[in-house]
Amino acid sequence: MMNVRRLGGAELIQILEVHGPTHDADWMLPGVSHAALDGNIDWLTPEYYMPITNRLVFSFQLWILKAGANTIVIDTGIGNCKHRPTPWQNMMNTPALEWFYAVGLPPESITHVVHTHLHGDHVGWNTRLVDGRWEPTFPNAQHCMPAIDWCACKSRYDAGEHDLYGGSVADSVIPIVEAGLARFIHPGEEIADCLTVLPAPGHTPGHVLFSFHDAGEDAVFTGDVLHSPVQILDPALNSRWCEFPDDARASRRRLLHDAARDGVTIFPAHARTLDGWRVSNESGGFVLVH
């Protein structure tokens, strides 16, 4: 599935690989309040939560930003033909890449690929299988990876953890580095004249956000700082994959505070909404603006 909107003077394209009730809420968000789920069921269902099965509705997707002379892919989803430990990501065969051609963006036209972090469902389309080898999907793109995440992954991989992040470091990250396409980024840097790297550690050691400002619109691509809008109501609620829980909570609170103060639109990695999320600060807490 593909959707398009204007974002300031740029064009934002959303390519969905998977959308559905994939994860048990208690498993994915340990400690989630069922009072909060039940009390907000009118707007959580069916876009974000299915109460009958207690499953969160997740999207796995790629964002494409056409801004001036640059075409940027923001996180690259799951990818095809890749062995993963989770059934929602294992050996996928979706037409995601065909949507690039459908909108006039062959892989060779992509100028930048940027990653909020290096988990497997955010790096998958970095590579595709060609004659039994993992080759770069976007051969002319500069691939921007958080330097802290790369250092942590490289250390663990070199120590023998070759199945790190379900094997995605081996098949989707290292081939990019070996091809000379990687740029290791730090907070404060600018990318493609339109994105600013912001720190958001916790989900991974070097997780980052990408801030966009153009023609009076402010947006931020937030990766996995948020998995569900329930975390807006309870910013202390981490996903089970947050590697540094206290840092993840601090990053989430900072994101929500800044977004509410500045009127920034949030584009989370695992929500289908093309309009993004807007939040407000009410009585010392945060709410999703509907």
Global pTM? Answer: 0.96
Mean per-residue pLDDT, 77-92 = 95
**Looking at the predicted structure, is the pLDDT value of residue 1 above 80?**
no
pLDDT digits (tens, 9 = 90+) for 92-149: 999 999 999 999 999 999 999 999 999 999 999 999 999 999 999 999 999 999 999 9
Beta carbons within 10 angstroms of residue 179's beta carbon: 15
User: How are beta strands 182-185 and 142-146 bridged, if at all?
Assistant: parallel
Do the beta carbons of residue 220 and residue 259 sit within 8 Å? Answer: yes
pLDDT digits (tens, 9 = 90+) for 180-239: 999 999 999 999 999 999 999 999 999 999 999 998 899 999 999 999 999 999 999 999
Token reading at 225: 């700082």
The better pLDDT of the pair 258, 88 is held by 258
pLDDT digits (tens, 9 = 90+) for 122-134: 999 999 999 999 9
Do the beta carbons of residue 72 and residue 64 sit within 8 Å? Answer: yes
* Residue percentage of the chain with pLDDT more than 70: 100
**Looking at the predicted structure, is the pLDDT value of residue 2 above 90?**
no
**Looking at the predicted structure, is the pLDDT value of residue 21 above 80?**
yes
What pLDDT is attached to residue 215? 87
**Looking at the predicted structure, is the pLDDT value of residue 281 above 80?**
yes
What pLDDT is attached to residue 197? 98
Domain boundaries, the chain: 2-288
Q: What is the average pLDDT score of the chain?
A: 96
- Beta-bridge partner residues of 209: 198
What pLDDT is attached to residue 290? 74
Do the beta carbons of residue 59 and residue 20 sit within 8 Å? Answer: no
Cα(257)–Cα(263) distance, integer angstroms: 10
In the structure, what pLDDT confidence band is assigned to residue 283 with cuts at 50, 70 and 90?
confident
DSSP characters over 123-183: TGGGEEEETTEEEESSTT-EEEEEHHHHHHHHHHHHTT-TTGGGGHIIIIIHHHHHTT-EE
For 143, residues 6+ apart whose C-beta sits below 8 A from its C-beta are 112, 113, 114, 115, 126, 176, 181, 182, 183
Do the beta carbons of residue 93 and residue 134 sit within 8 Å? Answer: no
CATH class of 2-288: alpha beta
In the structure, what pLDDT confidence band is assigned to residue 65 with cuts at 50, 70 and 90?
very high
Q: Which amino acid is at 265?
A: T
